[in-house]
Chains A and B, each alone.
Chain A
Amino acid sequence: MKAYTQHTGIVMPLDRANVDTDAIIPKQFLKSIKRSGFGPNLFDEWRYLDQGEPGMDNRKRPLNPDFVLNDARYQGASILLARENFGCGSSREHAPWALEDYGFHTIIASSFADIFYNNCFKNGILPIVLEEKIIENLFDLSAAEQALQLTIDLATQSIKGASILLDFEVEAHRKHNLMNGLDDIGLTLQCAEDIRQYEMRRKNAAPWLFRSV
């Protein structure tokens, strides 16, 4: 996994609550057995005017001019600003894969759905939770003619902009792994002996969990 330390980018405001993972990446694209290439279909149903299917040449599809992703101001944006309960619904990791593939490295919202939040950290994306009032203010700032640019620093847990200085919270273990780009599986396997000892204890207490069927 790529490490995340500091990131500067343009903010794209997506002014909707409860953005679900079906909207982030519709189901027809989940048939892929790969991890990459989902970016062109990020927010497919909102982004294009036609109906998207796998295998289409997305560059030739008609864009929805009213959708914020197609707004000239936000081209190249790498920070997504959203509202409450972002990423709700399906557990599909294709959602953070699509966001990352498009170029979003940071998502700021007033709350995230649990599984999505977790999936972000596994893919080098930093999800940041801020209070509603601050989110509202960021929406105002990012709607200006000149797109809002922010710098996010994970080490100091700070967000800086022209007239902005904010702190954010992140759990210590997630911060550590994200900053160092650590592979969770490798880390867990360092505890293999603990896992084996747990299994020995558990096998005595609950032998029916250790039968082969």
Chain B
Amino acid sequence: MAAKTLYDKLWEQHLVREDEHGAGLLYIDRHLIHEVTSPQAFEGLRIAGRKLWRTETNLATPDHNVPTVDRHLGIADPVSRLQVETLAKNCADFSITEFDMSDARQGIVHVVGPEEGATLPGMTVVCGDSHTSTHGAFGALAFGIGTSEVEHVMATQCLIQKKSRSMLVHVDGKAGEGVTAKDIVLAIIGKMGTAGGTGYVIEFAGEAIRNLSMEGRMTLCNMTIEAGARAGIVAVDEKTLDYVKGRPFAPPENLWSQAVSAWSDLHSDEGAVFDKIIHLDATQIEPQVTWGTSPEMVVGIRDRLPEAGSYSDPVKENGAINAFKYMGLDQGVKVTDILLDKVFIGSCTNSRIEDLRAAAAVIKGRKKSPSVKLALVVPGSGLVKQQAEEEGLDKIFTAAGFEWREPGCSMCLAMNADRLQAGERCASTSNRNFEGRQGPGGRTHLVSPAMAAAAAIAGHFVDIREF
């Protein structure tokens, strides 16, 4: 039997049929739903008089529009409120389990899924959200879809897909002190470019990947979409099983050993052939900081920003010139000389307990710089928030002058009230530094939680290894 990649196995296990044009009908095990990309899909079902194919595979929670303060007052913005209320009504009408704003389990859909065990190894997981790639950390095939496909999954439990090409990103060696999953994935994007993964499913492997916790692997897979890939996956190991066991939606005791035995095959076979292989040396990766308006515009903390003249491709040079202008930065300046107005610790990339612990460890006993107007900590879910409070992390943050908020997407994309004002510069643990992403005219620098925390204390970027 030919050696298979993990992606080959996941594809084959979910292939219902292939049509005469070679398009596959892929079965979907888990569909996660939030308020922004689902209303038009529910409306489509109603208009066509269609029902859900399998109600229990759907799980919903509002996250993009929810306020992170004064929850008891509800949502002030009537347009946001209507969208969240529409999700509740749709879930009630179609009997879908929803963790609403009053539920301790509410949170960012990509934090909630794994936390509940609703994301399991070997599953296909989809959601109307590009960061669904997060769930690939569990050896699941997980990817974002548009609203038409949300409707398609709800009505048929399937998606029409063409198999992607396969890429192996092998990160060899041990990452140094202070170098996190966020730095590894930013370094990968810096090397590949934001379109480098287009048309591929990427499997991450190598010592540095195996050494990552499940939280770290989620950060890594989360940002695979920023490299343009359809999905990112990491093979199942003991860490995966330890994380999953005992969670509410995980296989119960009587099915556990059968599940573990099936999951033991969720790795690429020895000798499996990939369409492309990339190697990175983890020992050479420094803490990363993005400087521009695309995640590929990234440098190490000890570096200077590039010079526009250093680009050989005129389209890239043009992009860099636009980015310098938008970001209000000069070419060639030192990263550590960049001053910050705000700091955001949160998002589906970096809002899990490990992220909050890493940030808290940096700021313990210190104070936010007076030049930083706001440092915001937004846990990924109500349960992450509870755990952090049990560990006393909230006290560390508030004592340092940070704000401790309710869970949601918050200032990653600023659909709620948390946003940058035009011209404000932010160190952010989120995933996108696009123009206007954190608020019109806002300037975003992507970093790890520890780097964001250190920047809040210093008022500018600092090398976490010397902090």
Contact = CB atoms under 8 A, between A and B. Distances in A.
Contacts of A34: 40
B46 interface: no
Contacts, number: 196
Nearest to A173: B21
B83 A191 contact: no
B148 A16 contact: no
Interface string B119-160: 010110000111010000000000111111101100111101
Nearest to A51: B440
B83 A119 contact: no
B37 A92 contact: yes
Given A31-B65, A32-B79, A198-B16, A185 B255 contact: no
A33 B86 contact: yes
Interface string A191-213: 11011001100100111110111
Given A91-B130, A122-B146, A213 B248 contact: yes
Contacts of B262: 205-206
Given A115-B145, A122-B146, A31 B80 contact: yes
Interface string A53-90: 01100000000000000000000000000011100111
A209 to B, nearest CB: 5
Interface stretch (B179-187, B209-217, B430-438): B430-438
B21 A172 contact: yes
A114 B158 contact: no
B199 interface: yes
Interface string B42-65: 010000101001001000000011
Interface stretch (A3-11, A18-26, A148-156, A157-165): A18-26
B315 interface: yes
Contacts of A51: 422, 440-441
A115 B146 contact: yes
Nearest to B256: A208
Contacts of B198: 85, 111-114
Interface in B70-95: 77, 79-80, 82-83, 86
Given A22-B436, A171-B23, A185-B48, A123 B148 contact: yes
Interface string B422-464: 1000000000101111001100000000000000000000000
Contacts of A176: 21
A145 to B, nearest CB: 23
A93 interface: yes
A130 interface: no
A114 B436 contact: no
A101 interface: no
A35 interface: yes
Contacts of A114: 198-199, 228-230
B258 A17 contact: no
Most chain A CB within 10 A, of B48, B132, B160, is at: B160
Q: Which range holds the interface residue count of chain B?
A: 35 or more
Interface string B242-263: 0000001111100100110010
A146 interface: no
Interface string A104-123: 00000001111100110011
A54 B79 contact: yes
Contacts of B40: 33-35, 93
Contacts of B322: 16
A188 interface: yes
Of the candidates A16, A45, A90, A122, the one having the most CB atoms from chain B within 10 angstroms of its own CB is: A90
Nearest to A32: B79
Given A185-B50, A185-B152, A111 B195 contact: yes
A17 to B, nearest CB: 5
Contact of B319 (A17, A90, A92, A118): A17
Contacts of B381: none
Contact of B156 (A27, A30, A188): A188
A115 B162 CA distance: 12
A137 interface: no
Contacts of B315: 17, 83-84
Nearest to A121: B148
A195 B158 contact: yes
Contacts of B275: none
B440 A173 contact: no
A91 B159 CA distance: 15
Contacts of A92: 36-37, 146
B27 interface: yes
Contacts of B123: 209
Contacts of A113: 195, 198, 228
Contacts of A89: 130, 432, 434
B334 interface: no
A119 B132 CA distance: 16
Contact of B432 (A22, A35, A96): A22
A39 B373 CA distance: 36
Interface of A: 15-18, 20, 22-23, 26-28, 30-35, 45, 51-52, 54-55, 83-85, 88-93, 96, 111-115, 118-119, 122-123, 171-173, 176, 184-185, 188-189, 191-192, 194-195, 198-199, 202, 205-209, 211-213
13 contacts: A18-B294, A20-B432, A27-B437, A32-B79, A52-B440, A85-B195, A89-B130, A92-B36, A114-B230, A184-B148, A185-B155, A188-B152, A211-B56
Instruction: Please name the 10 residue pairs, one residue from A and one from B, whose CB atoms are nearest each other, closest first.
Output: A208-B251, A173-B21, A122-B148, A93-B146, A33-B39, A119-B146, A85-B195, A91-B144, A172-B21, A173-B23
Given A173-B19, A208-B259, A211-B252, 17 more contacts: A17-B318, A18-B195, A20-B434, A31-B36, A31-B77, A45-B436, A91-B130, A93-B40, A113-B195, A114-B229, A119-B149, A171-B162, A184-B160, A188-B160, A205-B262, A206-B259, A208-B120
Interface of B: 16-17, 19, 21-23, 25, 27, 29, 36-37, 39-40, 43, 48, 50, 53, 56, 64-65, 77, 79-80, 82-83, 86, 97, 120, 122-123, 128-130, 132, 143-149, 151-152, 155-158, 160, 162, 194-195, 198-199, 228-230, 248-252, 255, 258-259, 262, 294, 315-316, 318-319, 322, 413-415, 422, 432, 434-437, 440-441
